[in-house]
Amino acid sequence: MRNFILAAMSAALPTAPQALGQDRPDWALVVHGGAGVIERGAMTPETEAAYRASMQAALDRGETVLEAGGSALDAIEAVIQGMEDDPLYNAGRGAVFTAAGRNELDASIMDGATLNAGAVAGVTQVRHPITLARAVMEESRHVMLQGEGAETFAVEQGLEMVAPAHFFTERRWASLERTLDRLGLDIPPRPEGAPDPEPVDHGMLDRDAREHRFGTVGVVALDRAGNIAAGTSTGGTTAKRWGRVGDSPILGAGTYASNESCGVSATGTGEFFIRLTVASRICALVEFQGLSLQAAADQVIQDELTALEGDGGIVALTPQGDIAWSFNTPGMYRASLTAGGKPVVSIYGDED
Ligand code: ASP
C-alpha cells in the first residue's frame, strides 16, 4: 500500500518521496514499562523518581546503539536487557510469580524489514529472555520455543543462565501471597535459594494491589537504515496458573513489526490482547485503511479493547518516525526519543 502510494506520488510529484525521506528522523525509539492504575499521589516521590530515572536510562541505552548506526534489533535488545535486570519491572528480575511460586518468563522480538521473529514462553533460568527470543529468530528454524526445550536451546546457544532465585523479589512474593489469599489458594513454599524473608512495605503492597500495575516492558525502534523492530518481555500476570501464556510472546498480539506499516509493543491483561490481535491489528489499520498511527492505536485501544472490557496500552512507531502511544488505564510508564530531539518520559494519563 505504502509503496503504491509512494509510486503514485512520485508520478505526480517527483520530489515527494525525497521530501518524505528528508522528514524522517535518522532514528527513533519508544519504550514502555507497563500500564496500570497509576495515579498521581498514589506513588511516593522516591518511587516515581526511580521509575523516571530508569525510563531515561532505557532511552540512553537505545540512543547509544542507534546514534552509532546500530540496528533497531540491537537497540531493542540493549534497552530490554537493562529493564530485565531492573527489579522495578515485571520482566526478568522483579517478574511476578505464578500460583505455584515460580517466575515463568515470556518474550518476543520481530524484525520489520524481513518479518522474521522469535519468541519464548515459560522460561525460568535465562537471565535475558529477550536475547533468547532473538536467538530463536536468528539461530533456529523455529519462531517460538517454550519451557524446558527453550532452555536447552539457550544453553546450546551459550546464553547466560541463572538460578530461578535470581528473579526473586520480596515485593512480588508478598503480592503473590496476597493474591493467593484473596483467591483462596494455598501459598507455595518460597523458592529454593530465595533470600530470607524481609519485612515489606505494606503501603507499597497496598498501592500495588490498588494500582493493578502490569510492568511488562517493550520497545519499538527505527534505525538509520529505515528498519523498524519491536520487542516485549514479561513475567506475565500474578498467580497465573496451568502454564498460562499471555500476549507478550505472541506475534501479532503483544508484539508486531513491519516496515510496510509500523511496530507495536503492548502491555495489559494479555488475554484481551490475544483475542483482538492488538499489535498486528493496529499495523493493518495503518497499512490497509490508511489511518494515522495515532488514530489506529486509539481505535484499537480506546474503542475495541475497551468494548471487550480489556485494560492496558501500547507504544508504536512507523518507518517515517511517527510515534504514538495509547492506553485505557490511568497511567503507563512510557518514554520516547528521536534523533536530535528531546526525550519524553511520562507516567500519568494527563502528561504528554
Ligand atoms: N501483557 C502481559 C501478560 O498478559 C502482562 C503485562 O502487560 O504486564 O502476560
Rounded CA separation 219/31 (Å): 4
Q: Closest by alpha carbon to 245, among 346, 150, 341, 338?
A: 150
Cβ–Cβ < 8 Å for 59, 249: no
Pairwise pLDDT comparison (316 vs 22), residue with the higher score: 316
Backbone angles phi, psi at 242, to 5 degrees: 55, 35
Please check the confidence at residue 144 and state whether its pLDDT lies above 50.
Answer: yes
- The protein residue whose alpha carbon is closest to atom 8 in ligand 1 is 214
CATH number at residue 262: 3.60.20.30
Lowest mean pLDDT among 29-43, 79-93, 163-177, 216-230: 29-43
Interval 219-248 mean pLDDT: 97
Q: Closest by alpha carbon to 20, among 233, 230, 244, 318?
A: 318
- The protein residue whose alpha carbon is closest to atom 9 in ligand 1 is 236
Using a cut of 0.85, tell me whether the model's pTM lies above it.
yes
Pairing of strands 217-222, 144-146: unpaired
Cell 495515532 sits at which residue?
Answer: 294
Lowest mean pLDDT among 15-24, 113-122, 277-286: 15-24
> How close is the Cα of 233 to the center of ligand 1, in Å?
9
How many helices (H) and strands (E) would you count in the chain?
Answer: 12, 12
> How close is the Cα of 225 to the center of ligand 1, in Å?
31
Cell 518474550 sits at which residue?
Answer: 107
Interval 237-251 mean pLDDT: 97
* Predicted local distance difference test score (pLDDT) of residue 270: 96
* Predicted local distance difference test score (pLDDT) of residue 200: 72
Cβ–Cβ < 8 Å for 108, 232: yes
Lowest mean pLDDT among 16-30, 173-187, 190-204, 289-303: 16-30
Q: Which of the four pLDDT bands, split at 50, 70 and 90, describes residue 36?
A: confident
What percent of the chain lies above the pLDDT cut of 70? Answer: 90
Please check the confidence at residue 9 and state whether its pLDDT lies above 90.
Answer: no
Catalytic residues: 216
Q: Which domain holds residue 303?
A: 2-348
**H-helix segments, the chain:** 2-12, 16-23, 45-67, 72-84, 129-139, 147-156, 170-183, 202-211, 270-276, 278-289, 293-298, 306-307
Please check the confidence at residue 204 and state whether its pLDDT lies above 80.
Answer: no
* Predicted local distance difference test score (pLDDT) of residue 43: 81
Domains held by the chain: number: 1
Pairing of strands 105-111, 228-234: antiparallel
- Please tell me if the CB atom of residue 267 comes closer than 6 angstroms to any atom of ligand 1: yes
State the closest ligand 1 atom to the C-alpha of 312, by its place in the atom list counted from 1.
7
Radius of gyration of the chain (CA): 20
- The protein residue whose alpha carbon is closest to atom 5 in ligand 1 is 236
Lowest mean pLDDT among 40-44, 73-77, 287-291: 40-44
